[in-house]
Chain A
Amino acid sequence: MLNIQDLHAKVEDKEILKGLNLNIKAGEVHAIMGPNGSGKSTLANVLAGKNGYEVTKGSVEYDGKDLLELAPEERAWAGVFLAFQYPVEIPGVNNVYLLKAAVNAIRKNRGEQELDAVEFLSLVKEKMKLVKMKEDLLNRSVNEGFSGGEKKRNEIFQMAVLEPKLAILDETDSGLDIDALKIVSEGVNSLRNEERSIILVTHYQRLLDYIKPDYVHVLSNGKIIKSGGPELALELEEKGYDWIVETEAA
């Protein structure tokens, strides 16, 4: 479903990703861990198609397509979803209108019938329960005046409504207290299925107590230096990133 080969990427002339390889099959959950500055967010942004990231080498194949050739919206139409680390506030753009336009843009591009207002509303009602989303947030401007936790919850709520094939969760756990972390994790767990792949980008092992990954990868200096099962995350938690960076370098 996603095959990343020898990916090199630059931001403002600084090389951040330096030959990253990753292969993800449908239905798998992969955690990407690593110290600050290792390239975790860069990977998330490159996959979603953000401007300002220049891929200098390598390839990303997604669902049989060359992902890097697609505009951000085309990626979304094809089922890629990025839950942002810092969701931006957009005054004047209504949260629920955006979501309706998003759902219908995706359906249209898949050749499916667009949802009418009633169908859309019942979909929204159902998905709101997943992340215990407060109804009054729906009719506000996108993320405007939301607390940190509300913003993250809104991201997972959007994911629930848009039903992506590949979801990239960029530090979704950061800034969440333990209760919010549980709610968000339960939301994500309920969205796991055999067709949906999920990439969890995180600095801490904490998130992985709630969302059990199939694989854990350690990213350091723009490359994956070690891969393993969930036990790798525990080892990292115990011994720290320095341990693994030094071990692998040796």
Chain B
Amino acid sequence: MSQENMNNNIQHYLNDFEQLGDNIKSDWFSEQRQSALSLFKESGFPSSRQENWKYTDTRPIAKKEFLHSSDTSVSISSDQIDAVRFQGLDCYELVFINGIYSIDHSRIQGLPENIVIENMAAALAKDSELLEKHLARYADNKVSPFTALNTAFIQHGTYINVPKNTAIDKPINILYLSKNNDQPFASHPRNLIVMGEQSEATLIESYIGIDDANYFTNAVTEVSLSASAILKHYKIQQESLNAYHIGNLNVMQGKDSRFESNSISLGGSLVRNDIHGHLAAEGASIVMNGLYMTDNKQHIDNHTRVDHLKPNTYSTETYRGVLNGKSRAVFNGKVVVHPQAQKIEAHQNNANLLLSDDAEIDTKPELEIYADDVKCSHGATVGQLDQDMLFYLRSRAIDEETAKSLLTYAFADEVLKDISFAPVKNRLEYLIVGRLPDAALIREFTNE
């Protein structure tokens, strides 16, 4: 099959779209979906001949016939869900199984009345001006065919609205759990977070595969921050090693707002995370921390882009990668400073540790600056473990394997150092240790 045909192997998506039916009455939404589908139909899946997809070949996704996940009978036991929760974290929680909202497992009791946290399908059924104003306005269907595909299938996902001058008392935890069904399936979670002026919240999105489930997650999250709003966002990607994950996060930021992104990518066979921050008013700032750990034949691609559209805006990005086996990772961090955006600061750093000779990283920090009074820096490093550190530990009676494992852990753990919720930090540290070649050797260093 030629690449062209491969890219257009999308008929089953079109069929599934017809099956979705039109239980949604609002015209604006039907139009959104229809135009997104047309875009996807026209473009098909991206080709690696496109610059933006140069290092990530999505043909494995295109080749497989993932059917739209609509089976509501799939169940996951409470014990299994407990095992992936953050121990000791008091939070509001929405649970989705194979992309479908599970009312039984979700816990949003006690939510203050002025705050909305609900399934996207419920929000769509109610419809609202706010939803119409924000949904599908930030994630651009034209930029990625995957976003268009997601928009066409908007149904389940999370809708959050935190009104003006309100801070949520607990973090919001969203669990997207996937387990094997009769056939490989696709889910298209869609999240929209609308934060009013001076509001504050913490949101954790977790994507977790149970066993070796075979599926495709195509998630899109849109965030709108009004003036002085603060959102701390965590994305924890632990899909199954047979799974495909494409995730897109788009943030529109108002005056003096602050967005903090922490993206931890550990699972998946083929993964692409896109984050796009729009610093659209003065004083807006974005912080992006990321960690990716790959092994075997995993492929994880992180693309970020920040547009400094106005003066006095700030961005900082720190991504670290640990690569083992024959795995491959991509980092592409783009910062665009627009002509009127004077006195901005943008700093970017990407550091990688290669634990095997067969692992490969493509790292590309990009700065496009069209203003003249700016402070920008960027850097990328690719290396092995520091030999002086290794010798120091070994001279202190630590055997070589443990010392290597410990230094790898310490390298990765740097990304987590500012996480303020102990249950989240503890779980992430536990997961990171679990991904190291000699996890058992250093558990005692981290558990005490």
Contacts and interface: CB of A to CB of B under 8 A. Distances in A.
Interface in B354-404: 386-389, 391-400, 402-403
Nearest to B442: A101
A117 B386 CA distance: 30
A248 B387 CA distance: 38
Contacts of B406: 93
Interface residues of B, number: 26
Given A90-B410, A93-B407, A97-B445, A73 B399 contact: yes
B391 A50 contact: yes
Nearest to A96: B448
B397 A73 contact: yes
B316 to A, nearest CB: 18
A98 B391 contact: no
Contacts of B445: 93-94, 97-98, 101
A188 interface: no
A98 B398 contact: yes
Contacts of B400: 71, 73
Contacts of A17: none
A88 B392 contact: yes
B400 to A, nearest CB: 7
B86 interface: no
Nearest to B401: A73
A141 B417 CA distance: 12
Contacts of B409: 92
Contacts of A87: 392
A121 to B, nearest CB: 11
A162 interface: yes
A246 to B, nearest CB: 36
B193 to A, nearest CB: 32
B398 A51 contact: no
B397 A105 contact: yes
Given A71-B394, A73-B394, A76-B394, A88 B399 contact: no
B60 to A, nearest CB: 35
B410 A48 contact: no
Nearest to A83: B395
B444 interface: yes
Contact of B397 (A52, A97, A162): A162
A82 interface: yes
Contacts of B395: 48-50, 72-73, 75-76, 81-82, 84
Interface string A53-82: 000000000000000000111011100011
A115 to B, nearest CB: 13
Nearest to A93: B410
A138 interface: no
Contacts of A73: 394-395, 397-400, 403
A22 B1 CA distance: 74
B312 to A, nearest CB: 31
Contacts of A93: 393, 406-407, 410, 445
B16 interface: no
B411 interface: yes
A101 B398 contact: yes
Contacts of A82: 395
A244 interface: no
A92 B414 contact: yes
B397 A88 contact: no
A245 interface: no
Contact of B396 (A50, A51, A76, A91): A76
In the A-B complex, the 6 residue pairs with the smallest Cβ-Cβ separation, listed nearest first, are A92-B410, A76-B397, A72-B394, A105-B397, A102-B397, A102-B396
Interface of A: 48-52, 71-73, 75-77, 81-82, 84, 87-88, 90-94, 97-103, 105-106, 109, 117, 141-142, 158, 162
12 contacts: A48-B395, A49-B395, A73-B394, A73-B395, A73-B399, A84-B392, A88-B389, A88-B392, A93-B393, A93-B407, A105-B397, A105-B399
